Amino acid sequence: MSQRTAEYQQLLEDVPCNICGRNNFKIIYPAQYDLAKTDKIHEGFRSSGDETLIDQMVECNYCGLQYLTPRLRQDIIIEAYSSGSDEGFISQAKGRERTFAKSLKSIEKYVPPSKILDVGTAGGSFLKAAKDRGWNVSGCEPNRWLAEWGKKNYGIDIHSGTIFDMELDHDSFNVVTLWDVLEHVPDPQKVLKECSRVLKDNGLLLINYPDINSLVARMMGKKWVFLLSVHLYYFTPKTITKLLEKCGYEVVKITKHWQTLELDYILFRMKPYIPFIPELFRRFFKLINCGHLLIPYWMGQTLVLARKI
């Protein structure tokens, strides 16, 4: 065992399946602890973090949930998300606002503009899009820098912390959203139950997550762009439905979720998977002044609409 592996393993803890609570699993991908950067752990937990998977990934033999175990301790994860800046993430704010404006149109087919809570709002792009459409918005974000950026640039009061720190009243929101959040949290079941507590009866919950059973994920295998060490859980429509039902929801709809980012940013994020080629294209598109083009893309992102019952 190398010194790097030994140092990293001291930071880990074993966790059971978040749906059924069992510790009976098969290994999908073995750990690669020799690749761990123990001195740069916090850098991997930025919203734009793209550290490839090094932790052991398993699948529960009872309910099929795929997750990481052992993994970094919960206190390390929470502190890592709270610290640091993320200029790369907020550089794509305009594309995210466009994506969220389309998503809000879908939400408004079920609920007119009213009280909405965005959990893990990052820089607040969703809250900005919702406020522009007449919603009464609230949000929380553990990263202090991102929360402050949202306050300054959008004029929105974003709570710096988690949903549990907000001490919200029961039955206080018509809609709660988690955009690219649930796969990151140490205890999804606990978060979903808190969302249910603050939702009004028949209130709506929206979750966006990367589907590990999507065609693109199955085709790319270990090269899938969302196979990251910061993603603690890997859901499918089947497992996300099981988890939601366990937490007091009924699933209304599951569909693909197209997101919009700048062309240059998409090519930049492709570099670890297709060496050299993305950089050549980045230079070319910058030369012809097309790097900032907003491009819709889909790599397995999935949107779930559920109702509190």
Task: Report residue 125's pLDDT band, with 50, 70 and 90 as the boundaries.
Answer: very high
Higher pLDDT, residue 125 or 299: 125
Question: Where residue 148 falls among pLDDT bands split at 50, 70, 90?
Answer: very high
**Structure confidence at residue 11 (pLDDT):** 94
Give the tokens for residue 137: 């918005």
Query: Can you give the pLDDT at residue 243?
Result: 99
- Residue 73: inside a domain: yes
User: If you average pLDDT over residues 35-61, what whole number do you get?
Assistant: 79
Q: Flag whether 288 is in a domain.
A: no
Same-domain status, 31 and 59: yes
pLDDT band at 282 (very low <50, low <70, confident <90, very high): confident
Question: Which pLDDT does position 35 carry in this prediction?
Answer: 87
Amino acid 51: pLDDT: 75
Q: pTM for the full model?
A: 0.89
Helix axes 263-270, 277-287, angle to 10 degrees: 160
Comparing 196 with 93, which gets the higher pLDDT? Answer: 196
CA–CA dist 70, 66 (Å, integer): 13
pLDDT grade, residue 157 (50/70/90)? confident
What pLDDT sits at residue 38? 76
Kindly state whether residue 214 falls inside one of the protein's structural domains. yes
Q: Is residue 174 part of a domain?
A: yes
Any domain includes 283: no
181 and 40 together in one domain? no
* Same domain? 99 vs 143: yes
Structure token digits, residue 151: 């306050």
**Residue 218's domain spans which residues?**
89-261+299-308
Adjacent-strand bridge partners of 233: 67
Q: Are residues 126 and 232 in the same domain?
A: yes
- Please check whether residues 69 and 116 belong to one and the same domain: no
115 in a structural domain: yes
Assess if residue 280 is contained within a domain: no
Residue 276 has what pLDDT? 62
70, 116: one domain: no
Q: Which residues contact 123 (CB under 8 A, 6 or more apart)?
A: 89, 90, 93, 141, 146, 149, 150, 153, 154
For residues 56 and 127, state if they share a domain: no
pLDDT for 265: 66
Residue 47 has pLDDT above 60, yes or no: no
CB of 276 closer than 8 Å to CB of 81: no
Point out the domain boundary residue: 82, 97, 131. 82
